[in-house]
Structure 1
Amino acid sequence: MFHRLAALTTLLATALVLGAPAAANPFETTLDNGMKIIVKEDRRAPSVVHMVWYKAGAMDEPDGVSGIAHMLEHMMFKGTETLGPGEFNRRVSAVGGRDNAFTSRDYTAYFQQVPPEHLEQMMQLEADRMANLKLAEEQFLPEVEVVKEERRLRTDDNPRALLFEQLMATAFLSHPYRRPVIGWMEDIETYTMADAQRWYDDWYAPNNATLVVVGDVDHQAVIELARAHYGTIPSRVLPGRRIPAEPPQRGPRNTVVRAPAELPMVALAWHAPTLRAPTQDEDAYALQVLSSVLDGFDGARLPRHLVREQEIAVAAGASYGGTGRGPSLFLLMATPAQERSVTEVEQALLAEIRRIADEGIAEDELRRVVTQAVAGQVYKRDSLMGQAMEIGFLELAGLSWRDEEALLDGIRRVTADQVQDVARRFFDPDMMIRAELVPLPQSTTTAARVSPLLRH
C-alpha cells in the first residue's frame, strides 16, 4: 500500500522489467465503454495474472473522508448482488489461485493469479463487483473497526510510519499527497456507508479502469473475454478532478514527532521534479542515479560512510520515486547510533550531498550503479506479477508501457556531470523539509496489535 524506500531506482526497475526479452510486447486495445485492455503473452509458466487498476486513489478524496479509497477497497470483498461476503476469495482459492488488492495515492488495484483455464472466471468475478457491489451496514461497520485497527498497527504504533506521515503533511500544504493513504483516524471514525457508496459510484466505472493480463494466454482470446465480461458494463460520466496545485515553498519547514521508540530518527526532504516526458526530463533520471549512488546497493555511499565507516548511524538511506500523478520528493533519512545525536547524522547526510555537489562522482561509480541495478532486477524478468505491476504502475502514473525504451535510454544517458549538477541545484537548505522523531519511553504493557481480519 505504502511506498517502500527502494534500494534501486524505480524507473530503472520499471524499464528492466518491461524490457525483458523473454516475453512478447504487450497488446493494447480500448473497449467501446472506455476500458483499456493491455495483454502481455508470457508462456514460460502455466499461470496468468489478472489485474484491474482504477484511476482513483487517496489524492482524489475530498477533505473529511481521507482514506475512503482504502476503505472501499476493503468493502469490495464483502459481497455483490449475487455473491456473499468472502465468496470472492473462496472462489479464487478453490481454483488454486491467490488474490488481493492495494490502494495508493494514485490508484487502487485488484489482482488474481490463477491457472490460465480459470481466467474467464476471474473476469466474471471482477466484472461483477465492478458493476454490482452490495454495501450493507452489517458488513460496513465491523470493517470500519478493522481499518481503525490497521491504522493503529501500521501507523499509530509505528514511530517510523508516524514520522513519514508527518513529513508528508509538512511537505505539502495544498496538494492531497499531504493526507495518509489509510486516512486520518478522526476521518475513519466518522465514515458512513454513504461515503463508501459515493466513492464507488463516482470512480468504479469501466472508463476509469485499466485491465492488465500477463501470462500463458493468447492476447486475442483475452480481449474477446474482456469484451464479453467487461464490455457490457456501461461507462459513466466521471467527476471532475480538481486536484489543487502545491504553492511555492517560501522557506525551510520543520516538524517534530514525539512517540514511543527506541531510537530517534531524522528525515530530510526536498521538492523535486516528477518525470512526465520520458525523452526530455533529464533531471529526473539524474536524480534517480543520485539516489542509487547514495543508497542503491551494498557499497552505496550512505550505508558505507555513515553506518560502516563512521559508525555514526545504525541506518541511513535515500529515496526518490520520480513518477506518479502528483509531485515528487527526494528523501534522506538516518537513525543515529547509540551515543550519537540527530544533529550529527543530519549533518553527515548533508555532507554527503555537498561532497557530490563539490567533487562529483567517478565514471566507474556511475557505471557500477547501473550494473548493480541490472543485477538486482534480473530475476524480475521471470515474474508475471512483476511485469503486470510495472505495466499497471506506468499506465496509472501517466506514462505508458510503450515508454520502456525511453526509460532505459534515459538512465543510460545520465552522465557524472548531470549527477553533480542536480546535487548542486536541488538541495538548498532554505528549501529543506525536516522531520525528527523524538523517542518517548516505550510502555511495557503495549503489545503489538494483530487482527486476523487484516488483509494487507
Structure 2
Amino acid sequence: MKIRKMLFGLMFVLFWVQNGVQAEPAQEFVLNNGMKVVVREDHRAPVVAHMVWYRVGSMDETNGTTGVAHVLEHMMFKGTKKYPDGSLSKIVAGLGGKDNAFTNTDYTAYFQQIPKANLEKMMELEADRMENLQFKDADFQKEIRVVMEERRWRTDDQPNALVDEALRATAFNAHPYHWPVVGWMNDLQNMTVNDARNWYERWYAPNNATMVVVGDVKAAEVKKLAEKHFGRIKPKKMVPTKPQVEPIQKGERRVAVKAPAENPSVVLAYKVPALKDVEKDSDVYALDVLATVLDGYDNARLSSSLVRKDQVAIAVGADYSAISRGPALFVIEGTPAKGVSVAELEKRLKQEIANVAGKGISPEELQRVKTQLISSQIYKRDSMFGQAMEIGVFEMSGIGQKQIDRIIEKLKEVTPEQVQAVAKKYFSDDSLTVANLVPVALTEKKK
C-alpha cells in the first residue's frame, strides 16, 4: 500500500497553512478508565465520522500466531449477546450509515460514517463489542476460512504483493515488521478460536483505545456520550510487547520472487529513520520532501527521466512514511521497458538519488514540489473521514495530533541543502534490500 500517497505522508497538511484554510482545532480528553477521546467539530454537513482505534497491530504478534490481529478484526463483526449474529453492520446500514475496519502493522481501527443523530447508537455498539464480544467456534471457523482466502487472492495470487512480502521479510530480521499483516498461511491454518479470544482479552480495553469523532457535533456533548457508554468499562493491565529492535544492517540483501507476471520489476528499500521526536528528527522532513521530488506529482524526477525522457521504464515509484511505531523504509521501484534489464533499471533508480546527492535541488524545484503536492491533496480537506484518519494515525504513532501544526512548521523550513544532505546520508548499499520479480509462465505456477 502506498501509504504516503494515500494519506499518511507528512507534507499533505501544508495545504492548511499555505492556502489560509485553518482546520477547527481538535479537542481531546481522557476518561477515568484511560480511554482517550479526540473531537474535531466540522459543521459543514450533518454527518459524523466515528472511529475507535486500538493501539495494537501485527507488530505486537509473535511467531505462531501471525495474522491474529486481523483475524480478531473479522471476529469483531460477529456479535455480542445484545447484538448477535453480525447484526451490528445491519443496524448501521439501517440508520443510513456505513461501517468497516482495518488492521495495520501498528493499529486496528473500526469506523462508522453516519448521520449525526445516530452518533450515540454507534458509541453504544462499539462499547458493547469492546466489552462483550462473543467467540463461537462456528463463527471463528467461518472467518478463518475467509481470511485464508483473502490471503490467497490479495497476496498469493498477486505478484507485486508477494514481492512486497518477501522484501519486508528480508529487510527486517528481528523486528515483527518481518511478517505480513495478514499472517503466514501456516499460522492461519493452525489458529484457534482461543488465539483470537486471548488477543481480544489482552488488548481490547478502554485504556488501549482512542475514539476519534469528526463532524457536526459539539465536543462537550461527545464527552458526555463517551462517559456514558465507554466510561463504565473497566481498564485492563496492559503488558506491552517486548522491544524487538532491528540490528544494524551490515550489507546489501537481495531476494527474488518467481511468479506469473507479464513484466519483471525491481524494488529497492533503504533503512531510514521514522519520526519519534518532532523537534530533533529533522532528517525525516527532508526525506519526505525527497520522496516527493522523486515521485510526488506527474512530472516528478523518476517518471520524467526514466519513463518519458529515456524510456527505460514503463512504471516507477517512490514511497516513504515517517509516521510509524516501528522502523521505516524508503522505497523506490520500477518496471523496466522492453529490452531494458532489471539490473540496468536498478542502476538508473540509484542514479536518480545520486543526482540529488551530487547536485541537489533548486529552491524553485522545492517550491514547485510543495505546490504540486498541496494541489493533489486539496480534496482531502473536504473529507471528515480523512480528517479522522489523520488524527488517529498520529495518535497511534505516539506523536499525537497536537503535534501536527508543529510538523507543518518543520516541513516549511526544509531547505534544498537538507534534501541533498539526506540523499548523501542514507542511501548506502549497506542499508539496502533489493527484491526482484522474476516472471514465469502461468503453466510454471505450481512447480
Superposed displacement of residue 85, structure 1: 2.0
Contact persistence 2:260–2:445 (CA under 8 A): no
How far apart in 2 are the matches of 1:383 and 1:7?
13
Aligned to 2:149: 149
Residues 39-78 of structure 1 aligned to structure 2 (within 5 Å): 39-78=39-78
Residues 131-170 of structure 1 aligned to structure 2 (within 5 Å): 131-170=131-170
Change (3 A) 1:333 1:101: same
1:321-370 CA-to-partner distances (Å, cap 9, x unmatched) read 01110000111100111221101110110110111111111111000111
How far apart in 2 are the matches of 1:201 and 1:403?
31
Aligned to 1:13: 12
Change (3 A) 1:94 1:202: same
Aligned to 2:93: 93
Contact persistence 2:58–2:104 (CA under 8 A): yes
Change (3 A) 1:337 1:9: farther
Aligned to 1:376, the other structure's residue is in SS state: helix
Residues 34-433 of structure 1 aligned to structure 2 (within 5 Å): 34-433=34-433
TM (norm. structure 2) is 0.97
Contact persistence 1:7–1:292 (CA under 8 A): no
Bigger CA drift: 16-25 or 223-232?
Answer: 16-25
Letter in 2 for 1:336: P
Aligned length: 445
How far apart in 1 are the matches of 2:48 and 2:71?
27
Superposed displacement of residue 445, structure 1: 10
**Paired-residue identity, %:** 48
Aligned to 2:5, the other structure's residue is in SS state: coil
How far apart in 1 are the matches of 2:3 and 2:154?
14
Superposed displacement of residue 83, structure 1: 1.3
Superposed displacement of residue 86, structure 1: 2.0
> Which runs of 5 or more structure 2 residues have no equivalent in the other structure?
none
Letter in 1 for 2:34: G
Aligned to 1:449: none
1:92-114 CA-to-partner distances (Å, cap 9, x unmatched) read 00010010000000000000010
Superposed displacement of residue 81, structure 1: 1.5
1:410-444 CA-to-partner distances (Å, cap 9, x unmatched) read 11111101111111111112321111110111249
Contact persistence 2:71–2:144 (CA under 8 A): yes
Contact persistence 1:8–1:292 (CA under 8 A): no
How far apart in 1 are the matches of 2:168 and 2:293?
24
Change (3 A) 1:117 1:9: closer
Contact persistence 1:7–1:295 (CA under 8 A): no
How far apart in 2 are the matches of 1:177 and 1:357?
29
Superposed displacement of residue 16, structure 1: 4.3
Change (3 A) 1:364 1:276: same
Bigger CA drift: 91-100 or 377-386?
Answer: 377-386
Change (3 A) 1:324 1:18: farther
Superposed displacement of residue 405, structure 1: 1.7
Contact persistence 1:17–1:387 (CA under 8 A): no
TM (norm. structure 1) is 0.95
Aligned to 1:6, the other structure's residue is in SS state: helix
Aligned to 2:10, the other structure's residue is in SS state: helix
Change (3 A) 1:183 1:7: closer
Change (3 A) 1:8 1:341: farther
How far apart in 1 are the matches of 2:177 and 2:16?
27
How far apart in 1 are the matches of 2:36 and 2:173?
34
1:365-384 CA-to-partner distances (Å, cap 9, x unmatched) read 00011111111121211110
Contact persistence 1:60–1:243 (CA under 8 A): no
Superposed displacement of residue 5, structure 1: 5.9
